[in-house]
Amino acid sequence: MHNNKLYIVMVGLPARGKSTIANKLKENLTKYGIKTGIFNNGDLRRRLTGVESSRPEFYDPDNQQGVELREKIALTNMGRASDYLGRTGYVAILDATNVSLKRRKKIAGCITNHPILFIECINGDEKILKAGIQRKAASPEFSHLAKDEAIKSFRQRIEYYQMLYAPLKTERNYVKLDSLNNKILAEEITDKIPYWDRIRDFLVTDTVKNLFLLRHGETHFNLENRIGGDSDLTENGVAQARGLASYFQRKKIPVIFTSEKRRTVQTAVPIKAMQENCAIIPLKDFNEIDSGICECMTYEEIRDQMPDVSLARKKDKYNYIYPDGEGYVSMKYRVDMGIKKALYLSQDSQNIIIVGHRAANRMILSHFLYRREEDVPYIYVPQDRFYHIVATQDKKLLQLKPYDL
């Protein structure tokens, strides 16, 4: 047995991030000269069956014809993976649900010439699962169905897989991964696994290829120096949004994340209009700081009408929490979760955009760079520039860049 070759077997219900992890693993390992191939059962199934396998009944465990075809596809990819490692490849990734114990025993019995590492992807966040299902249902596989029909079909497919689902427990080498939080929930490594240190480190690292962090365009409240609210863009703000759209037209942007506030969505819409197959996904996690009883007031009004609030905030801006609202310190968890959701939902995208707010963007920036807590509320977040962020195992970049109106 050549101890520098490895099979990785992905495990998990649909829409849990298996293919995203597989693709990122391949990219990461290949970068270091470790030739890696992915053998995706879904890709082969779609080539063989066309729209037939988009029907949920195809995945019914009692559908013998479907069971036999899926088994044939799995065996075909096992053979292809084995041939790959027998030639020039070093890591072969079997990308499929592989949720049944029976399937995993068959894999372990069929490919015995190199170690096998099972990676189970788990994600219990219902909102993220819903968004992931919507993205899956919008794929070419379901293009012949209306949106609601596609979502219903995919959910039924998941239910059929749940009937067979047996979590990893008895396999010799496995990792159970919270694929939203990049957190290892359990692991068991019995054999010597090639590249294990590199793989494990990668699994727990947030990978950001190119994140463009934008602040929304100028609003009427900005001109009046009012905080919070849900103000619309001014004419200048609309021009700023168009300038951003023109700048990013040269890049492929598959997804733009915004807050739930109109000003961020209004900034994103022109960018989306100049892209192909671009989606806007609003996330509550990126909403601006909730200033409670001070919402829609100017800082001068707060100082004059609520001097105690103004003085307390001035003393400790990071830890101060507005009455009936929140503060920087209480935003941290939701903003960090928003970042994780955005990275998860963007899958393996080369470029993603987040359109946020001044305080929310400061918290996003503090996720990627070191700042003392007391300095976070003063991070520079202009409306005529954006931040370009890269964070991978071997590259860190945070650059403030201008764009033309």
Put the strands of the sheet holding 208-215 in their side by side order. Answer: 279-282, 255-258, 352-356, 208-215, 385-391, 396-402
3-state secondary structure 306-371: CHHHHHHHHHCCCCCCCCCCCCHHHHHHHHHHHHHHHHHHCCCCCCEEEEECHHHHHHHHHHHCCC
Q: What is the CATH number of the domain that holds 368?
A: 3.40.50.1240
**Whether the predicted pLDDT of 2 surpasses 80:** no
Q: Tell the burial category of 301 from Cβ atoms under 10 Å away from its Cβ (0-12, 13-18, 19+).
A: middle
**CA nearest to 8, candidates 110, 87, 67, 90:** 90
188 and 232 both lie in a single domain: no
Active site residue 215: yes
What pLDDT does residue 394 have? 81
Choice among 98, 173, 288, 362 that is catalytic = 288
pLDDT at residue 233, as a whole number:
98
Catalytic residue from among 16, 215, 313, 362: 215
In a domain, 292, yes or no: yes
Tokens 């849990």: give the residue.
16
Query: Does residue 188 carry a catalytic annotation?
Result: no
What's the rounded Cα separation, in Å, for the pair 275 and 266?
Answer: 15
Query: Is position 309 within any domain?
Result: yes
pLDDT given for residue 241 in this prediction: 97
Q: Tell whether the model's pLDDT for residue 1 goes beyond 50.
A: no
Q: How far apart are CA 365 and CA 276, in angstroms?
A: 28
Domain residues for 311?
A: 208-402
Q: Which position among 104, 114, 357, 358 bears the catalytic label?
A: 357
Tell me, yes or no, whether 98 and 41 share the same domain. Answer: yes
Same domain, 276 and 229: yes
Shared-domain flag, residues 287 and 162: no
Confidence of residue 9 (pLDDT cuts 50, 70, 90): very high
Confidence of residue 160 (pLDDT cuts 50, 70, 90): very high
Which of 77, 173, 222, 361 is the catalytic position? Answer: 222
In the sheet with 173-178, reading across from the earlier edge strand, the strands are: 36-40, 91-95, 6-11, 116-122, 173-178, 183-189
pLDDT at 111 over 50: yes
If one counts every other C-beta atom within 10 angstroms of the C-beta of residue 189, the result is 14
Q: Residues 249, 339: one domain?
A: yes
Position 271 in a domain:
yes
The residue out of 173, 203, 233 marking a domain boundary is: 203
- Looking at the domain assignment, is residue 1 inside a domain? no
In angstroms, the CA 378 to CA 317 distance is 9
Query: What is the distance between the alpha carbons of residues 215 and 361, in angstroms, rounded to a whole number?
Result: 7
Burial of 154 (0-12, 13-18, 19+ CB in 10 A): buried
Residues 6+ apart with CB under 8 A from 50: none
Let me know whether 184 and 115 are in one domain.
yes
The 3-state secondary structure of 126-186, one letter per residue: HHHHHHHHHHHHCCHHHCCCCHHHHHHHHHHHHHHHHHHCCCCCCCCEEEEEECCCCEEEE
Greater confidence, 394 or 103?
A: 103
pLDDT value of residue 42 = 93
Residues 41, 177: one domain?
A: yes
Q: Tell me whether residue 357 is one of the annotated catalytic residues.
A: yes
Between residues 9 and 348, the one the model is more confident about: 9
User: Who contacts 159 (Cβ-Cβ below 8 Å, separation ≥6)?
Assistant: none
What is the pLDDT at residue 130?
87
Among candidate residues 263, 313, 358, 362, the one labeled active-site is 263
Q: 252 is written with which tokens?
A: 């492929």
Q: What is the pLDDT of residue 52?
A: 83
When pLDDT is averaged across residues 155-172 and rounded to a whole number, the result is 96
Chosen domain end from 203, 231, 256: 203
| Active site (annotated) includes residue 141 | no
Does residue 310 belong to any structural domain of this protein? Answer: yes
pLDDT over 90 (residue 51): no
Look up 216 and say whether it is catalytic. yes
> What is the number of residues in the chain?
405
Does residue 275 form part of some domain?
A: yes
pLDDT score recorded for residue 286: 98
In this predicted structure, the answer to whether residue 343 has a pLDDT above a threshold of 70 is yes
pLDDT: is 330 or 2 the higher one? 330
pLDDT computed for residue 329 by the predictor: 97
% of the chain beyond a pLDDT of 90: 86
Is residue 53's pLDDT more than 90? Answer: no
The stretch 51-69 carries a mean pLDDT of 92
pLDDT for the residue 137 = 86
Burial category of 292 from C-beta neighbours within 10 Å (exposed 0-12, middle 13-18, buried 19 and up)? middle
Pick from 34, 64, 54: nearest CA to 149: 54
Same domain, 87 and 146: yes
Are 59 and 111 in a shared domain?
yes
Count how many domains the chain has: 2
Q: Is residue 44 part of a domain?
A: yes
The overall average pLDDT reported for the chain is 94
| Cβ contact 69:135 at 8 Å | no
**168 and 20 within one domain:** yes
Cβ-contact 116, 9 below 8 angstroms: yes
Average pLDDT (284-309) is 97
Q: Is 46 helix (H, G, I), strand (E, B) or coil?
A: helix
Does 338 reside within a domain? yes
DSSP 298: B
The neighbour count for residue 232, using CB atoms within 10 Å, is: 13
Q: Tell me the percentage of the chain whose pLDDT exceeds 70.
A: 99
